Chain A
Amino acid sequence: MGFIGKGLFEGMVVTARNFVGSYFDKERLVTVQYPEERVQVPENSRTFPFLVFDKDSDPVASMRCVACKICEVECPPQCIYIVMDRDEKGKPQQRPKVFDIDISVCMQCQICVEVCPFDAIKMDNNYEKSQYGRFDELVEHLPELLKSNEFYNKIKPTEATAVDAKLKADAEKKAKKAAPAAKPAATAAKPAAPAAPKPAPVAAPTAKIAIPDDAPFTPEQRQWLSGYLSTVAASGVAPAAAAPVAGTPAAPATEAPAGNWPWHDPGLGMQRRLDLAKETPIADKLMAAMAQTDCHACGYDCRGYADAIATGAETDLSLCLPGEAETANMLKKLMQEAGKL
C-alpha cells in the first residue's frame, strides 16, 4: 500500500518529465508557430473552389471554364454567379465574363467540382482567406479565382495528374472522331481543348442571314434582327429583303458561318428560342430546346446533340445538364410532335 498523496507525487514526476522533455523532444512540443511556420495541409484537404487555366501567357483565354453554368445551378447554397462573355456582336464567347463565388456562403461541398464537365473548377486548399469586411470582401471574382494548372498540380499532385491524363485522352479521342467528319464538311476541325470550335453540323441548316459586323446595331438589336430576318427568309416571305436590309455591298450572307443560329444564345428563354426556330427542321428545333451553353456535358455541343437526336444516333433525351428538366421535357415533346417517338 502506498501512503496518502502518493499519486500526487507521481503526478509531479509526470509534469516534470513533460517540462524537461518539451525542451529536448520535438515530438512533445507540437505547437506550430503559425505566421512563421505552417503545417503542410493534406493533399485532399479543401477550402474553396478556384478556376483552372492552362497557359500562363493568357489566363483568360486559356481557362477551361465555358460558362455553362452547371455549377451555378448545382451549387447547393447558390453562391456562384456567372455571366457569359460575349464579343461586341453579342456572340457568346464560351467563357465567363463574370464569375463570382461568395466564400462566406460557400460550404466547401465540392459539388461544383464534381458536376463540372470540363475539369475547370477545382478545390483550393488555401485557408488564409480572412478579410477586413463581411460583404464584398468575401466575394471572389474571376481574377482571384483564376489559378494555373501548375498551381493545381502543385497543391494536389495526384488528383491533377489524373485530370491531366484524362483531358489528354479526351482530346485525342475527339481528334480521332473529328478527323473523318471534317473531310466531307471540308472544314478544318481542330482537335483541341474542350472549347474548340464546333465541328460542322451534319444537317445543314437553311440559309441564315448574317448582319454584318459593322452594321450600326447594338448586340441585342443585331440578335433580334438576325433572328427576325432568318425567320422571314426561312418562311420564304420577302426573300429579297435580305440583301437590302444588310445594306452593305456584297454582304457575305451565303457565307453564314457554322453556328449562326439565332436561338443559339443562352440568354434567351426557352419560349423565345423555340419561336426563333419555329419554321425550321426538327434538328434545329431540337437544338433550340437545348440550354445553348455548348457545355459538352452531353458529350456533344448543342448542335451536335440535336443532330444526333434527330438522326436517331442518340436516344437519351436527358443529357443536357444546364437545361435540366425543361430541356428534357421539351425534347421529348418535340420528338413526339415530329412523330419520331
Chain B
Amino acid sequence: MDQVYKVAPQLLKFLSYLLGWLPWIGKPVAGFLSNPPAWFLLAVAIAIPILFVVSVFPGIFAYTTLVERKALGRIQNRIGPNRVGRWGLLQPIADGVKLLTKEDIVPRSADKFVHFLAPVIAVIPSVLLFSVVPVGAGLVPVDLNIGILFAFAISTASVLALFMGGWASRNKFSLLGAMRAVAQVVSYEVPMVLAAVAVVMAAGSLSTLAIAKAQGGGILNVTHWFVFRPWGFVGFILFTIGAMAESARTPFDIPEAESEIIAGYHTEYSGFKFALFQLGEYLASIAMAGITVTMFLGGYNGPGSGPGILGGLISMFWFFAKLGGMIVLTIWIRGTWPRVRVDQLMSFAWKVLLPMSIVNIVAVGMWHYIAIRPIAWVVTTLWLVLWFITLSKLAASENIEKREYRYAS
C-alpha cells in the first residue's frame, strides 16, 4: 500500500492526461486528478490493492480449477474438460453460470441463518490472507509487522466457517465432516507454526515483506532462498504438508472425504453457496501457497528482480511463477496420493511432524550460532537427517499386527 501511495499521484496524472480529451467532464476531472487532495490519494491507494486482490486471485482460482481438472484428467489418462471454448478455456465461466442458476436448497431443519452465513465467512479469511502476501518487490497490500502471525490467525478462522456450515446443516455427514475439519486444522496448525518459527528466527522479523527481503541477494537472487538451507528445506516440507492439511487438500481432505461422508461439511450446500465454499477453500490454498513461497521459496526474489518498475515487474513474474509451481505441485499430489485415514492423520501430525518441527527450530539455532558456514551446513544436516531416521524408525516400528483375513481371500 505504501508503494501504491507513492506512485498514486503519477498514476492519477496519467489518468488525467487520458481523460483530458473527453468533452465537458474531461477538463474538470483532469484538473481534479492532476492535483488530488490527500484523502483521494489515500482512497486510491487503498482501492488499488483491494481491486487487485479481489480480481486477480479469484481469476487464478477459476483457472486453477480448470488446470486441476485438466491435469487430473491427464494423470488418469483422460482428456479433461474440452467442450466449452478452445481447450475448455471457458469452462470456469460455464461452471459459474451453472452454479448461479442452480436451486439453492436449505434443509428444513437447518439453522437457516448460520447455514447462510457459513459460506460467506468461508471466503472472508481466505481473501484477508492475501493482504499480507507480497506479490512483488515491496508490493504487499498491507505490510504488517506481524504479517505471519496475522496469516495464521486468519487462516485458522476459516475452520469456523466449516464448523458453522457442518453444524447448521443438521446432517450427520456435515457434522462428521465439520468435526474432522476442526480436529485436523487444530492439530496441523501446531507443526505449521513451528515450521514458520524457524523462518522467523532466521529472518528476524514477523513481517512477510522482511522475510522475503531476507532471501534476496546471493547468486542470481536464488542462493539465499531459505529452501536451500538444511533447516529451510525441512521447514518447507513441514510447512507444505501443514498448509495442505489446513486447506483440506488431498491427501488430507478427510473433512470432505466423498467416499466416506459424501461431501463433509458442505453436503447440504448447493448452487452458489457451494461455489463460495469452493472459492474459500481454493483461495485459502492459493494464499497458503503464496505464504509458502514467501517464507521458503524466496518470495518474489528471482533472477532480475529488484526495485524499480522493471525489477518490480520481474519480481511479480517470479512470485506468480512460483505460486503456479506450488499450485501444480498440490494438483500433482492430489492426483497421486490416496487420502489418509483419520487416525493416521492425527498420529502423523503429533508423532512425526511436531517432533520434526521442534528439531528444526534447534537446527536454526545451531545455524545461527555456528559462524563458519561449511561446519554449520554439516552439523545441521547431520542433526536433521539423524532425527528424521530416528523418527521414521519410531513411526515404522509401531507394532502393526498382520491382519488375518478369515472371510476374504
- Beyond A4-B396, A8-B337, A11-B337, whether A18 also contacts B76 by CB under 8 A is yes
- Beyond A3-B392, A8-B337, A11-B337, whether A28 also contacts B332 by CB under 8 A is no
Which of chain A's residues 1-59 have a Cβ closer than 8 Å to chain B? Answer: 3-4, 8, 11-12, 14-16, 18-19, 21-23, 28-31, 33
Q: Are A33 and B74 in contact (CB under 8 A)?
A: no
The interface residues of chain A lying within 8 Å CB-to-CB of B3 are none
Q: Are A31 and B78 in contact (CB under 8 A)?
A: yes
Q: Are A29 and B392 in contact (CB under 8 A)?
A: no
- Beyond A4-B392, A4-B396, whether A30 also contacts B77 by CB under 8 A is yes
CB distance from B225 to the nearest CB of A (A): 22
Does B335 lie at the interface of the complex (its beta carbon under 8 Å from any beta carbon of A)? yes
The interface residues of chain A lying within 8 Å CB-to-CB of B352 are 4
Q: Are B74 and A19 in contact (CB under 8 A)?
A: yes
CB distance from A5 to the nearest CB of B (A): 9
The interface residues of chain A lying within 8 Å CB-to-CB of B74 are 18-19, 22-23
CB distance from B323 to the nearest CB of A (A): 20
Q: Are A12 and B392 in contact (CB under 8 A)?
A: no
The interface residues of chain A lying within 8 Å CB-to-CB of B79 are 29, 31, 33
- Using an 8 Å CB-CB cutoff, how does the interface string of B37-73 with A read, 1 for contact, 0 for none? 0000000000000000000000000000000000100
Which of chain A's residues 305-333 have a Cβ closer than 8 Å to chain B? Answer: none
Does B35 lie at the interface of the complex (its beta carbon under 8 Å from any beta carbon of A)? no
- Using an 8 Å CB-CB cutoff, how does the interface string of B302-336 with A read, 1 for contact, 0 for none? 00000000000000000000000000000011011
CB distance from A111 to the nearest CB of B (A): 39
Q: Are B77 and A12 in contact (CB under 8 A)?
A: no
How far does the alpha carbon of A14 sit from the alpha carbon of B337 in the complex, in Å?
A: 11
The interface residues of chain A lying within 8 Å CB-to-CB of B389 are 3
The interface residues of chain B lying within 8 Å CB-to-CB of A33 are 79
Q: Please tell me which one of the listed residues A8, A16, A28 contacts residue B77 in the complex, with CB atoms under 8 A apart.
A: A28
Does B375 lie at the interface of the complex (its beta carbon under 8 Å from any beta carbon of A)? no
How far does the alpha carbon of A14 sit from the alpha carbon of B338 in the complex, in Å?
A: 14
Q: Please tell me which one of the listed residues A4, A12, A29 contacts residue B332 in the complex, with CB atoms under 8 A apart.
A: A12
The interface residues of chain B lying within 8 Å CB-to-CB of A19 are 71, 74-75, 332, 335
Which of chain B's residues 79-97 have a Cβ closer than 8 Å to chain A? Answer: 79
Q: Are B336 and A14 in contact (CB under 8 A)?
A: yes
Q: Are A29 and B336 in contact (CB under 8 A)?
A: no
Q: Are A18 and B337 in contact (CB under 8 A)?
A: no
The interface residues of chain B lying within 8 Å CB-to-CB of A11 are 336-337
Q: Are A15 and B78 in contact (CB under 8 A)?
A: no
The interface residues of chain A lying within 8 Å CB-to-CB of B392 are 3-4
The interface residues of chain B lying within 8 Å CB-to-CB of A12 are 332-333, 336
CB distance from A9 to the nearest CB of B (A): 9
Residue of B nearest to A8 (CB): B337
CB distance from B386 to the nearest CB of A (A): 13
Residue of A nearest to B70 (CB): A19
How far does the alpha carbon of A221 sit from the alpha carbon of B203 in the complex, in Å?
A: 110
- Using an 8 Å CB-CB cutoff, how does the interface string of B383-406 with A read, 1 for contact, 0 for none? 000001100100110000000000
Q: Please tell me which one of the listed residues A3, A15, A31 contacts residue B75 in the complex, with CB atoms under 8 A apart.
A: A15
Q: Are B395 and A4 in contact (CB under 8 A)?
A: yes
The interface residues of chain A lying within 8 Å CB-to-CB of B336 are 8, 11-12, 14-15
CB distance from B203 to the nearest CB of A (A): 28
The interface residues of chain B lying within 8 Å CB-to-CB of A22 are 74, 77-78
A-B contact pairs, 10 of them (CB 8 A): A3-B388, A4-B392, A12-B333, A14-B336, A15-B75, A15-B332, A21-B77, A22-B77, A22-B78, A29-B77
Closest 6 CB pairs of A and B: A4-B392, A15-B336, A15-B75, A11-B336, A19-B74, A22-B74
Binding site for B on A (CB under 8 A): 3-4, 8, 11-12, 14-16, 18-19, 21-23, 28-31, 33
Q: A4-B396, A19-B74, A33-B79 are in contact. List 14 more A-B contacts (CB 8 A).
A: A3-B388, A4-B352, A4-B395, A8-B336, A8-B337, A12-B333, A15-B332, A15-B335, A18-B74, A18-B75, A18-B76, A18-B77, A22-B77, A31-B79
